[in-house]
Structures are given as structure tokens and as C-alpha cells.
Structure 1
Amino acid sequence: MTPDWTRRQLVSRLGGVALLGALAGCPSPDAPDIDAPPGPDGGAPRTEPPAGQRDRPVPSAYDSVVDITEAGADPEGEESIVSTLSDIDTDNTLVRFPPGTYHMDDTWGPSGAERLGLYGPEATITTVEEFTGPLFSLGTDSEVKNLFVGGFTFDFTPSNTGPRPINASVRRNMRVSNVTVRGALDLDQDGMRFGVSDADGTGLVWNMRLPDGGDPEYKNTGCYVGENHVGTLVFQNCRINGFPDNGLYASPAKGRVNVVGGRYLNSGVSNIRVSGPSTVKGVIVRCDESRDGIENMRGIRLRGGRDIVVENSRLVFDSVTSSDGAITCAEWLDAATVRNTHITVHADDVAGIRAKPPNGSGQQTRTHPIQIRNVRIDGSANSGAAVRISERAGTLLSNLCICQHGADRDGIVVSDASGTTVRGSNISVSGQPLATEGRSITRKNLSLQSTQTGDRSCSCTQNR
């Protein structure tokens, strides 16, 4: 018998029962609940900051604390505060914004500071039409060493507003917490931008909310991590929705970017885009709105490098304009692991996981460069395949559960990937459970079942 069994042969030989007592990859209980209610302001469910971190500044850490209204700023939003900010000595200074509305008609940024804090938990920032910003330009000359920004709401709800709210690059330590952008960005400008310019520096962006996305007329990104980032930057508990050109775009970064928790919805090109070494853990990614101008709605795009880990995450694809896949391994990626993750695909011809032919260094970094472990893929998608591996030698697929019974839906399709291993998995689909284009791969302890379209009698059990 050839390695590519027909549906009739499979049903005859397997009789609908598991072969060799096969396992299946049930997702980790740590994977987030896609239906969990969002937190405040429609954001991600609120969690506490990481241990040892704070969502508010410590005044005693600064030499001086300045109330911006006492310094002359208008809290009614009538007069611009840029000149007031420019008159403040920002070196080792915390600037407090009392409750109110503050208007900015130009970019403000200090020339340098050992330590700078901006804190406005009930402060709203407004701006003028057609201004692309940034509003706060903080440390982009790499002369701010320690930065705290917290509590601001940027109101971009009027038409023709949407400047970059914050452009921050620091050397040692950055904390950005509880910042929100209201209104769709409808100018030709990307959203937030962050980076850490010292290899030993760290940054945390916690509870950032960009719920209203961008106008598809402009190919804007929600949040960008630039190529000058070489330290470690963590995005935790953030929400980014509906941007035409990437939600969180971190793949140019040379340093590490870790994405922890949060919700990423309905962005084009990718909702989360990272390169190695980086991690994506405990996130929710969902595409359920197909807007014109939002193209190739990938979930998590692993763009390049090595040692990327995606784990304990939940992805749902209900509706897309088009999509390469829920999780994609781009041509420039050398090595990555996807594990303990649950993917649901209802959108037709969209792969749950797709690894494209490599076009990078081609360096063999480990025995199994691409590893997919303990992953469940379900949903009613028609056509295509749940997993597609192309020219990725040595791929390991272990402890998978694939249950997809839309019409002509295949399970795992492997092409020109010598040394690939598929083991301990339960695959139940309407098309071919395992297609290898006549090539030999290693198979161990599998249940392969080809069923009728629409059959929902698929279950996954797990034996350790």
C-alpha cells in the first residue's frame, strides 16, 4: 500500500476506531477561553502586572514631581500643552496629569533624561486634524534611560485624526501601562512604536488597548517594534483590533519580544508578527469580521529567526477576506515550536498551521527545526488542509488532535519534507487524514479516519 491511503481504504482498515490506541493533542488547560468576557473598556481580561512591576509610578524614585496644571497647562482642552511640557525640566522628573482633557497640536519630547515619568490615569489627550505625530516622542534619540508612561486615553474619535500617540525608545528600562486609543486611525500613520536600544535593557507594555483599529484606506499598523530594538520587550494583557497592516508588528526587531496574554482581533497581514527569539503565550486571536481592504488575515505570523515558541494560546477563524493560515511559518523562519494550543477554523480553505518552504539561512538549528506538539485543530472549514508542511525537513508533529469535517478537508499534508515524523495523533477529516505526496515519513501510533462531510463524532483522548 502506498503512503497516501484513499478514503475507502482508510475506512475499511480502521473501521472508525483508533489505530494502536492513538493519542490526541488536547490543548493545555492554560489556553485562554475564547468566550471569556473582555475586561474594562472592551480590553483583555484584566490581570495584575508581572511580579515586581507596577502599573503606577513611585514618586520617591524621582528628584521632582510636577503637576502639569500647576505648571500652566490647560486641563479643559482649549489650549495646547506642548509649550508647557517644553518648559519643564524633565531630568529625573515625574509629570502628573490631574483628571482633565489636554490638547496637543505638535510633537513633544525631551532631549534626554536619566529618569522620566508621565502619569495621567484620568487624563485624555486630544489633537488636531491631519497631524500625524508622534505626540509623545520619548527617548527616540536613545538618551532617555528609564521611562514610565501610564494611564492616558488618546481621543482620536474626530475625523482625520490618528497621529502616532507614543514613540518611545529607551536604553535601560521602560514601563508603559493602561494606555488606550479611542477612535479609528484614519490618517497615513501607524500607531504606537516601542523599542529598547540596549541589549541588557527591558521594557513592559501592559494593558495597552487599541480597540478601534484603523481605516482600511491606509495600510496602518497598530503597534510597531522597530529594527533598533535589541533588548527584551514584553507586551502583556494588551488588545489590538482591526488594523489593515498588522496588529502587533514586531518582526523587524533584533531583540526579544514576548507577547503574554491579551486579545488580537481582525487585523490584516497578521494579528501578531514576531521573529526569533520571541515567545507568544496565552493569547486569544480571533478573525470574525471581513472588511474590505483588510487583506491576508493571518493569526500569528512567525516571520524569521529561530527559537520562537507559541504556546497555551487560542485561535478562532470564523470569517476572513483571505488568509495564509491561523499560524504561519514564513520562508525566512529557521526554527519554531507551537505547543499546547487550540485552533478552530470555520473559514474555508484556511490552514490551522502552515509552514512555507524555507528561504532563509537554511541552517539546521536542531534535529526537528519545526515542532508542533499537543495541538488541537477543529472547526467546519471546507477544502484545504488543517496542517500544511512544505519543504521543511525534519518537522515533528506530535500528539495532535485534528477534527475537521467540512467538505474536502484534509488533515496533515506534507510535501518534500524528508525526515518528518508524525506520531501519537488522532486525525479525523472528510478528506485525506495524512497526505505525503508519495514520500516516506515516519509514522508512529496514529489514528487516521476519513469520515463523511459534517460528521461531528470525533473525540480526542490523551494517554501519557
Structure 2
Amino acid sequence: MSLNDSRKRSIDRRSYIKGCLVGLGTLTVAGTSSATALEDQYETVVDVVEAGADPEGNESITPVLREHVGDDTLLEFPEGRYYMDEQLRLTNFENVGFSGHGATLVPASYYEFDGPQYRLFRLGTHEDPGRNLLFEGFDVDQTAEDTGIRVISAEVEDGLSVRNVTVEGRHDSGTWGPGLFNITDPDGEGHVYCFFADDGADHIDETPNAGNMWRGATGFAVDQHHRGSLIFENCRLGDYPDNGLYASNETGRIGVDGGTYQNSGTASIRLSGSTGRVEGATVVVDENSHDSAGQHAIRLDDGEHELEDITVDVPEPNGDAIRIMDPVDSASITNSEITVGDEPNAAVRIDPSAGATTIDDVDIDINGSANAVRILGSDAGAVELEDVHITGDASGARNREAIFCERNGCEFVGLEVEQLGPDNRRGIDLRGSDTIITDSEFETTDTAITLNDADGVTLEDTTATVDVDGYSLRILDSTGTVSRTNNDLPDGVRDDR
């Protein structure tokens, strides 16, 4: 998806917000249509160069910023390079803006940074948050050796707007990643737009801060102090050793609209909180630069989450593409594409205590010997698959079936499963009760449908063919009642009961 396409989708932000996050309301962001319109929103406007900041990158500008920043104040940065060797800290503020116009921030290296070596801008804390913060229009040059820093730590009650920030150079200092964002008021709102940090970060063991952190930097962090609603729109993150976008909040809402996230440790997008929605994003795992033990493209840890119109491309799997963890209350994946390369990792794994899950209109191409959809547990909540298409060259050497389901009360409607890989690749293995398969088609190397310790199974309007050996349907002796209506099972039924 091009940036222009993403912008077209986001012209009407109010419509997006209403559709994406329950209870989010409308987000009012400081206007950026012209410099005059922006300046009119502040009582005081300061040109930092006129105020004494060095635009040539020779002297630190932090003392100048500290002198002039304050409530109802906009700091404007003309074109230039602005060196910073200590953080600017501001708390309990009202209506503050930082606006760059061809401005590049140049952080000092790890060894030259004065004071806490973690942030350029600390704007609000969870104990003393600000309100109405604009931060826009900056490049951050961290291409120098042993350089990398949290560009902005923003904790505000309401009215956060971070826009058009590009970090250039790999984060190799071992300190915190480029952004932390918290909305501390449950009714507050924030928006992070076009924040790019494509170059990622080194593992902590390869940096001057070795031994002082675990793994290293996270790309975007949202922590336990987040309470409100926060959208990341059209952002990009490269490979970070901890996580990419990591929302570890217990409350609050997170939206991810578009953008690209790739190759981070643990997960490139990892969400907790009460409500989350990822729409139109692309998530890629094609490299393991940190020797991570696992790299999920998307991991859902807790709460209620919706994934829609996403592309998950995992040509070099090192973990399940989408992992739905036990504390998750409910999840849905709709109108999406998932591709998994030749390693034994699932496209979607639903853990034993994860809640009700819906997978609708999803194409899965799986090429490793794994379940395309792995559904664990029995009574945590029904799982529904509708119009799911499973293709690929996966073998049955490790995991035989494309779909493995232990849950009760599940429904499989309109499936198209084509699994013609080697080593007895099969279609679906059902082990729960009160399960329905209807209006579906299976074409597999080995047995298409297996009922193993299942009960109350309904199979109707379904075609199941075998390409090499096996049965259209096999019913093991531990299985209870099975109802079959209007099916096409040309390779026979083996009933061991």
C-alpha cells in the first residue's frame, strides 16, 4: 500500500475513529494546514534560532529550549541541524508545540550525552502529565556510532499529536527506543502519524549499554500508565530486539491504522489493554538479526482485539504468525492475508484459555509442516472460521493437518482447504464437541477430515477428496455422534466406532 493510498483512507479521521475503537469519540489535533493557522493556536511563538539555538549542529540547543518552552507556546525550528546532548523535561503543561520545518535533530552519542542517556524530549510523566501536545516535522540523525535515543516520551491527559518524524540510522547505543506514548485520562485521545524508524536497533549485548537492559530497545512503547485512546497511523518500524510496537497497558485502547512493522523480537506488533484494533497494516518477518528465540508477527496478550485488512508475510518464520494468548477475551481476524514459509510455525495459534475467536475471509498460504490454524483448549470460547482459504506446499511430516481443533462449539463454514504437500498432509482434525462443518471443500494428500474423540459433529454440504491415500472422512473409535447430510465423499468413510 502506498503512502498516498493510506492518506486517502485517513482523510476523514472522525469516521475512522468511530469505526475502529469503541468509545474513542473524535480526536482533535492541532491544525497543520499552514504555519499561520498553527501559530494562531498559541499565545507565544518562538523561532528557536532567533532565540539563540545553533542551526549548524555545533552547540547543544537544550538550554535554549529550556529557557523558552512553556504553556501555550509553540517552538518553531527552521531548516537546520540541531545538536542535543541532554534531555528537555517538561511536566504538567498546557498546549505546547514543537514544529520543525526541514529541521534535523542530532543526538549526542552514548558517551557524550549529559544526564539520563535515554531521551531527547520527556514531555509529561504519568504523575504530572501535560495536555495538548504537538510534536511534528523532525528528522533525527542517529547515524553516528554508538548513537540512538528515545526521541520523545509523551505522557499527556489528552490532545497528543506526533506527526512526520523520521529516525535515520540504526539505534546502536543500547538505550530506550524512539518513542513512548501514554494517554493518562480514560477520556483522552492521541495520534501518532507517519513516525518512521525503519533502521531498527542492535541487541543490547552489542552496545555500550550492555548489561543494563534486557534485550534492548523497543520501537514504540505504551505502558501500564495508558488509560485513554491512541492511534498509530501509517507508521513504520524496523527490527527492534525487544518488540516493535509494544502496548503493555492493562486498560485503554490502541489502534494501528496502516503502516509496516517488521522483524522485531517477540513480536512486531504486541497488544494488551482493554481494546485494540489493527487495520490495513503490513507485518513482515524475513530476518532474525538479533538471534531471537521467537518472532511473532502479531501477538495479542490480553483484552479484546480486531485485526482487519492486514497482510502478514512471514517467509522466514521464527514463531507463529499470529499468536492469541490465554488472557485474551476475544479476537477476530477478517479480510486478511497470511503467508508462512517453510518452518513448522502456525499461521494462527489460539492458546487453550484464549476467548472466542472469529476468522473470516482470510487467505492462508502455509509452506511449513504446521497447522495453518491451531485451536487449543476445550471450553474457553467457540471459534468460527468462515470463508477461510488454505493453500501452500506444507508437508505432514510434523503436523499432519491444516486445521487442528480441540474446542467445543466451533463452526467451519465455507472453507476451501487445498493441501497437497508430501508426507500425508491432511485437512482438519476435530477433537471437540458440538462442531459444525458446512459448505466446505477439502482436497488433501491424505485423509481430508478426521474426527478424533469428537462428539455431536455435524457435517453437511461438504466435498472432501484425497489425492494420494486415505479417506474423505475418518471417524476414530473414541468419537460420539456424527450427523452427515448432502456431502460428497468420493474416497470413502472409515468409521472405527
Q: Do they superpose with TM above 0.5? A: yes
Match of 2:133 in 1: 147
Q: Tell whether 2:245 aligns with 1:259.
A: no
Asked if 1:316 corresponds to 2:313, the answer is yes
Which of the pair has the greater relative contact order for Cα pairs under 8 Å at 6+ separation? 1
Name which of 236, 252, 259 aligns with 1:239. Answer: 236
Write the distance in 2 (CA, Å) between the matches of 1:295 and 1:152: 35
Answer whether contact 1:49 1:206 (CA < 8 A) is retained.
Answer: no
Q: Is the 8 A contact 2:104 2:138 kept in 1?
A: yes
| Amino acid across the alignment from 1:207 | C
Q: Quick one: structure 1 residues 253 and 185, their matched pair in 2 at CA, closer, same or farther if it must change by over 3 Å? A: farther
C-alpha distance in structure 1 between counterparts of 2:342 and 2:83, whole Å: 44
Provide the residue aligned with 2:283 in structure 1. Answer: 285
Quote the Cα distance in structure 1 between the aligned partners of 2:228 and 2:247: 13
TM-score (norm 2): 0.77
Match of 1:51 in 2: 12
Structure having the larger proportion of residues in strand: 2
Post-superposition Cα deviations, 1:252-278, rounded to whole Å, max 9, x if no partner, equal 251100000001111111111112311
What is the CA distance between 1:77 and its match in structure 2? 0.7
SS in 1 for 2:155: strand
1:102-121 superposed matches below 5 A: 102-121=82-101
Which residue does the alignment assign to 2:450? none
| TM-score normalised by length of structure 1 | 0.82
TM-superposition CA deviations, 1:300-343 (whole Å, max 9, x none): 1111012x1100111111113x21x1111011111111111111
Q: C-alpha offsets along residues 366-407 of structure 1, whole Å, 9 cap, x if unaligned?
A: xxx21111111014x121110100014411111111112222
| 2:109–2:173 CA contact under 8 A, matched in 1 | no
Partner of 2:292: 294
Deviates more, 1:202-211 or 1:134-143: 134-143
Tell me how far apart the structure 1 counterparts of residues 168 and 6 of structure 2 sit (CA, whole Å). 18
Residue 439 of structure 1 deviates from its aligned partner by 5.7
- CA distance in 1: counterparts of 2:250 and 2:76, whole angstroms: 32
Partner of 1:174: 160
SS at match of 1:254: coil
- Secondary structure of the corresponding residue to residue 245 of structure 1: coil
Aligned partner of residue 328 in structure 1, secondary structure? strand
In structure 2, C-alpha distance between the alignment counterparts of 1:39 and 1:421, rounded to whole Å: 38
* Shift in Å, 1:437: 4.0
What letter is aligned with 2:47? D
Q: Tell me if structure 2 keeps the 8 A contact 1:243–1:267.
A: yes
Work out the CA distance in 2 between the residues paired with 1:115 and 1:328: 40
Give the percent of matched residue pairs that are identical in Structure 1 and Structure 2.
33
1:208 matched to 2:195? The reply is yes
- Partner letter of residue 427 of structure 1? V
The answer on 1:350 being equivalent to 2:337 is no
SS of residue matched to 1:267 = coil
Q: Would the aligned equivalents of 1:190 and 1:223 in 2 still touch at CA under 8 Å?
A: no
Displacement after TM superposition at 1:187 (Å) = 2.5
Q: 1:435 aligns with which of 429, 438, 441?
A: 429
2:401 paired with 1:410: yes
Give me the CA root mean square deviation.
2.2
Q: Kindly report which structure 2 residues correspond to 1:210-229, keeping only aligned pairs within 5 A, or say none.
A: 210-216=197-203, 217=205, 218-229=215-226
Distance 1:244 1:89, change over 3 A: closer
CA deviation after TM superposition for structure 1 residue 161, in Å: 1.3
Question: Number of matched residues?
Answer: 401
User: CA separation of 1:48/1:425 partners in 2, compared to 1, >3 Å: closer, same or farther?
Assistant: closer
Partner of 2:324: 329
Residue 303, structure 1, aligned to residue 304, structure 2: no
